[in-house]
Structure 1
Amino acid sequence: MEELVKKFLQYLFAERNMSKHTIKAYNCDLEQFIDYSKRCDCQIEKVNYLYLRRYLAYLQTIGYTRASIARKLTAVRSFFGFLQREDLMDSNPAPLISFPKLEKRLPKAVRIGMIDALLNSPDTSSANGQRDRALLEILYGTGIRVGELVQLNLEDINFAQQEVRVFGKGNKERVVPINQEALGSVKNYLLRRKKSYLKDKDGSALFLNNQGGRLTDGSVRRIIKKYVRQAGIETGITPHVLRHTFATHLLEAGADLRSIQELLGHVDLSSTQIYTQLSRARLKKIYLQTHPRA
């Protein structure tokens, strides 16, 4: 089964143009399915509807949330669909399996005061502090994903046009505006970048670690966590929360959904429409707290 998974992952990379992050997630989910099948002594040709139902029930018993189970089911369904299309299996047992019903959770958004506290936390007298201020400004100022942030190269920042070129999911390119405050932070960081980070390397990556290599998703998450604690912010803030906050603040200031969709790189407008629910929820809360008859 492992060889079939390798073929499937190669297909995702070469033909579906999926990101390395997505392919890695698919691989982890399928490795877990293979491990379960080995323990059950079940060959791939024996996998059927009832077997998959038992697998999903097993995932639930060991504590996975509905959202995690739905993601794992997506990987399994795609895998078996690939095998059927490639004539490696006679039938696909997965489409009959329904996805677990998910609760619609509204994205978190952070108040502007907390954002200001976070952005002002790095000590910009140090090279790392200047770098961290710049990446925080870009995340909140553009709404890009953390995976898009760490893939930025020097040539992707257009100072003259005040724009950033971003390569999103499926390596799709888009250009987003960037504010003067964020650009200023990037300029200050670049003044120290070569001397403080590159050493003997000549990297094209915008954001570098202390060894001169490209920052990773995990590094950025740890950086944000550090400054959240430093700023005394009790609300959990992640790169994705900054992305949600970017979109929510735009909507509350009067931006239209289509524009926000383009800025976020959403293919489908329905992905952006959740922010209207968030805005309505916040308005309702304000109404209930302030109206004399509420």
Structure 2
Amino acid sequence: MREHELLGPWLRRFLTEYIVTERNLARNTRSSYRDTFRLLLPFASREVRKPVDRLMVRDLASSLVLKFLAHVEDHRGCSVRTRNQRLAGIKAFARFVGSRDPAHVEWCGCIRAMSSKKSMQPSVGWLTRPEMEAMLAVPDRRTGRGQHEYALLLFLYNTGARVSEATQLKVRDLSLGAQRGGHDLATLHGKGGKIRQCPLWPETERVLAHEIRDREMDAPVFVSRLGTGFTRFGVYRLIERCAAQIPMLAGRAITPHVIRHTTACHLVLAGVDINTIRAWLGHVSISTTNIYAEIDLTLKANAVALCEVGQERPRRSWKEDKDLMAFLRSL
């Protein structure tokens, strides 16, 4: 068996050379591709009855990939969007192999011809201002732990940051200089290595200044009760725990992304233009941000009022319009 027919060497080159060195893809994208094959390889091994290290590229036939995608949905309980994400990782690998070995062009074409499944755009979940204020009131700020949790919740609401952007925030990323004639800013490192700056409210600046006292520049801004940086899982648990203590949020799934949606929706209600909100949230395309222009019934009612058909006005002959006749004679 020739080495270029084995799946292992190709996959190693794809994960360690192509997506890191050649493409320089974001860390989360690399993790997504890695996780796809961590699921796919054991599944393929069981289907073709071969050890993982003896799998061949052609063993990943389109029929097997379809079975794997069905397994992701039916047995793992994943959504259609997750299923399509797994397929995107497999297609990227097929494109890599096909572009470097003509013997696998046909296999590559079969994989890349597979279609993504249509999925419904999930509705935008967000909190009203009283609900968000209730969330901020949950942490007990008389304790150190409550102060840490309040600072994190307030920062998420202020900036609309993704959970990964908040957990990766370092002390050096904060510019707290309003009292010295500057601007209070947080530098966020977003998806794809993109960097953006978000202004901070005076309350956020005060809380964060207290949080980072006596900390090194490379230290995380948000720390848990153990003194270590918050993890993604820790942020999710914190928000779930706070939401569980608010009766008006009973039965609703509140996540860090819901708070991100909340920031965007409140900016829309405040009259901030959609392009500014796009830059605030770090969206590449404004079409992603446009969903927030459709979420509030108040905005829709105002738009309808502007277009409301009123009572028909009595018509008047243009000859009776003295101002119009004077205007015409003056030309």
TM-score band by shorter chain is 0.7 to 0.9
2:12 paired residue number: 6
Structure scoring higher RCO (CA < 8 A, sep ≥ 6) equals 1
Counterpart of 1:230 in structure 2 is 245
Partner of 2:310: none
Amino acid in structure 2 at the alignment position of 1:33: L
Supply the distance in 2 between the matched residues of 1:46 and 1:281 (Cα, whole angstroms): 55
Match of 2:57 in 1: 44
- The equivalences for 1:184-223 within 5 A come to 184-191=206-213, 204-223=219-238
**What is the alpha-carbon root mean square deviation over aligned residues?**
2.6
Of 10, 24, 29, the residue aligned with 1:17 is 24
Residues 94 and 84 of structure 1: CA distance in aligned 2, closer, same or farther (over 3 Å): same
Q: Which runs of 5+ in 1 are unaligned?
A: 195-200, 288-294
1:169-215 deviation per Cα after TM superposition (whole angstroms, max 9, x unaligned): 12211111111121122123234x75xxxxxx985211223444322
Note the alpha carbon deviations across 1:81-106, whole angstroms, 9 max, x for none. Answer: 12223338622132211110111222
Unaligned ranges ≥5, structure 2: 1-6, 49-54, 178-182, 305-331
Is the Cα contact below 8 Å between 1:16 and 1:170 reproduced in 2? no
- Residue identity over aligned pairs, in percent, reads 27
Cα distance in 2 for residues equivalent to 1:282 and 1:68:
32
Amino acid at match of 1:239: P
Matched, 1:279 2:296: yes
8 Å CA contact 1:130, 1:188 repeated in 2: no
88 and 75 in structure 1: CA distance in 2 versus 1, 3 angstrom threshold: farther
Q: Which amino acid aligns with 2:47?
A: C
Runs of 4+ displaced beyond 4 Å: none
Count of paired positions: 280
2:46 is aligned with what amino acid? R
Alpha-carbon distance in 2 for matches of 1:216, 1:89: 44
Equivalent residue number for residue 55 of structure 1: 68
Tell me the residue number matched to 2:170: 153
Summarize the alignment of residues 238-249 of structure 1 with structure 2, pairs less than 5 Å apart. Answer: 238-249=255-266
Please point out which of 80, 83, 86 is paired with 2:97. 83
Higher gyration radius (CA): 2
Residue deviations 1:196-251 (CA, integer Å, cap 9, x gap): xxxxx985211223444322111111111222223343232211000011111111
Shift of 1:65: 2.5
Give the match for residue 198 of structure 2: 176
Q: Which residue, 132, 140, 145 being the options, matches 2:149?
A: 132
| Range moving further from structure 2, 69-78 or 14-23 | 14-23
